[in-house]
Amino acid sequence: MKYLRNSLIGIGALVMAVALLLWFLPARWALPWAGSQLHGLRLRQVHGLLWEGRADQVLATDGRRLGQLHWQLSRRLLLGKLQSQLDFKGPQGDFSGAMRRLPDGRIAWHKVSARIDLAALGPRAASPLGQPRGELQLTVEHALLQGGWPLQLQAHAQYRHAVMRTRDGDVALGGLDADAQAHSGVIEAQLHDDGHGPLRVDGTLQLSPLGWRVDATLRPRQTDPSLRRWLTGLGSPDADGAVHIHRSSGLAGSMPAPPQTRTREIP
């Protein structure tokens, strides 16, 4: 009986010691286990705890310094409930947002804000129409993801100082905007400009795992010859220089239009 009591006391002490270790686990000790979740990124000069810490240097796979990262991770993770807040700041981009994993495995994001200098993407962002330059800003009120695809989404994107760098020089597009919503896995975005730039944009973009469809009209506000030449790469202009785009891929032609109702709140 005495042996059993001592064994239970020893097991209890061990469990308490492990719990205290996990509760106050230094972030740098957890890095070897977190490495596979970073997709090649490396954290240096790590401070704080696993549950709240920071990395003064975030390095890309090629060793470039991207910025600094601060995170908060709920201790409810010990009960299998993942919930975190991420804040990243760098000279070429910022990101902040709150994420939690729902009981059914879906991922919910709230209050996401992101900024990226498109020049940082380099040749990876190049297309036959040129290489984009300018700053892309994204705000996501909420998003519900399953397998990485948004089932629900409420987002707004701003493309400021938009420029396409081509072999013939830079083509200024001005400020472009998009408001996006997702219902039942179908994303629909309304495309427009800020009303002041050299290019007038009015259109819609629809995306789903089945395909995509874009319907838009692009019309120059100025007589800029470089802009008009660039537009001819998208289609034949009409008498006033406008280019009408109607393109789709996959099964987009049969994609249903999303209902014009307010997005249901994520549980």
Over the chain, what is the mean pLDDT? 86
Tell me which residue range forms the domain holding 114: 2-254
Q: Regarding predicted confidence, which is higher, 88 or 60?
A: 88
- CA–CA dist 225, 99 (Å, integer): 46
Please return the burial class of 39, using the count of CB atoms within 10 Å of its CB with bins 0-12, 13-18 and 19+.
exposed
Report pLDDT digits (tens) over 36-60. Answer: 677 778 899 999 999 999 999 999 8
* Residue 261 within a domain: no
DSSP secondary structure, the chain, as one string:
-HHHHHHHHHHHHHHHHHHHHHHT-BHHHHHHHHGGGTTT-EEEEEEEBSSEEEEEEEE-TTS-EEEEEEEEE-GGGGGT--EEEEEEEETTEEEEEEEEE-TTS-EEEEEEEEEEEGGGGGGGG-BTTBEEEEEEEEEEEEEEEETTEEEEEEEEEEEEEEEEEETTEEEEEEEEEEEEEEETTEEEEEEEE-SSSSEEEEEEEEEETTEEEEEEEEEESS--HHHHHHHHTTS---TTS-EEEEEEEETGGGPPPPPSSPPPPP-
Tokens of 65: 């310094």
pLDDT at 54: 95
Structural domain includes residue 259: no
Residues in the chain: 267
pLDDT at position 63: 85
What is the structure's pLDDT at 1? 61
- Does the residue 68 lie in any domain? yes
pLDDT higher than threshold 50 for residue 18: yes
Number of domains forming the structure of the chain: 1
pLDDT for residue 102: 95
Model confidence at 84, pLDDT cuts 50, 70, 90, reads: very high
Q: 260 lies in a domain?
A: no
Residue-level pLDDT at 116: 96
Q: What mean pLDDT is predicted for residues 10-35?
A: 68
261 has a pLDDT exceeding 80: no
Q: What does pTM read for this prediction?
A: 0.81
pLDDT, average across residues 158-170: 93
User: Is residue 66 a contact partner of residue 80, using CB atoms and an 8 Å limit?
Assistant: no
Per the domain annotation, does 108 fall within a domain?
A: yes
Tell me: the pLDDT tens digits for 185-196?
999 999 999 998
Residue 240 pLDDT grade (very low, low, confident, very high; cuts 50, 70, 90)? confident
90 part of a folded domain:
yes
**First-to-final CA distance of the chain:** 50
At residue 121, the pLDDT reads 85
Token code pair at residue 234: 């998208």
Range with the poorest average pLDDT among 61-65, 194-198, 251-255? 251-255
> What is the structure's pLDDT at 17?
58
pLDDT at 122: 81
Choose between 61 and 220: higher pLDDT: 220
pLDDT digits (tens, 9 = 90+) for 129-145: 899 999 999 999 999 99
Decide if 32 is inside a domain: yes
Q: What is the 3-state secondary structure (H, E, C) of 207-238?
A: EECCEEEEEEEEEECCCCHHHHHHHHCCCCCC
User: 24 pLDDT band (50/70/90 cuts)?
Assistant: confident
Residue 125 domain flag: yes
